[in-house]
């Protein structure tokens, strides 16, 4: 599970770095509207790819949740028939065992879901960085337009 998550986050990070490396030189010098438009389109396309990585993580998380739910159902049904043969003390002991197993499963689920949530938060930060890059392009274009108007 961790390999899959790490792979998705690394791919998204690499996409973001690649796009930012191509955009950064544009922001240091003069930029035309056509270059800005192209750069913003490239950022948008990269954001779509990164969102696909996030969707893959979300799908995997959904499957993991479903597996934990199935395990919980299995734990709940364990020993129900056998419990009829024992007295109340035997049934109590079996119920306590099932409850302990459910608690352990819940701890595992929380740890697993936290890993997915961290990965999704990382991807959200990557997307936010790309949104900032788009804003920076707009800001750079606006300041260049103001500068050219002042010269005229």
pLDDT band at 129 (very low <50, low <70, confident <90, very high): very high
Give the total number of structural domains in the chain: 1
The alpha carbon torsion through 78, 82, 87, 92 (nearest 10 deg) reads -10
Range of the domain at 25: 2-151
User: Mean pLDDT score of the chain, rounded to an integer?
Assistant: 86
Range among 12-21, 86-95, 138-147 rated most confident = 12-21
- Write down the pLDDT at residue 150: 65
Q: How far apart are the first and last CA of the chain?
A: 60
Supply the pTM of this predicted model.
0.78
Q: Enter the tokens of residue 2.
A: 């961790």
Report the C-alpha gap between 60 and 72 in whole angstroms: 18
pLDDT at 79: 62
Give tens-digit pLDDT for 42-85: 999 999 999 999 999 999 999 999 999 988 888 777 666 665 66
């Amino acid at each position: 599970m961790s390999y899959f998550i790490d792979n998705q986050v690394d791919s998204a990070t690499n996409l973001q770095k690649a796009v930012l490396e191509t955009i950064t030189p544009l922001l240091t010098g003069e930029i035309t509207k056509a270059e800005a438009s192209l750069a913003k389109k490239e950022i948008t396309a990269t954001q779509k790819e990164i969102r696909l990585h996030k969707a893959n993580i979300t799908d995997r998380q959904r499957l993991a949740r479903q597996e934990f739910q199935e395990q919980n159902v299995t734990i709940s049904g364990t020993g129900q028939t056998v419990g009829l043969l024992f007295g109340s003390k035997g049934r109590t002991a079996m119920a306590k065992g099932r409850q302990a197993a459910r608690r352990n499963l819940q701890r595992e689920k929380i740890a697993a879901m936290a890993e997915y949530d961290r990965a999704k938060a990382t991807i959200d930060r990557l997307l936010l960085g790309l949104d900032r890059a788009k804003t920076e392009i707009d800001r750079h274009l606006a300041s260049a337009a103001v500068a050219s108007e002042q010269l005229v």
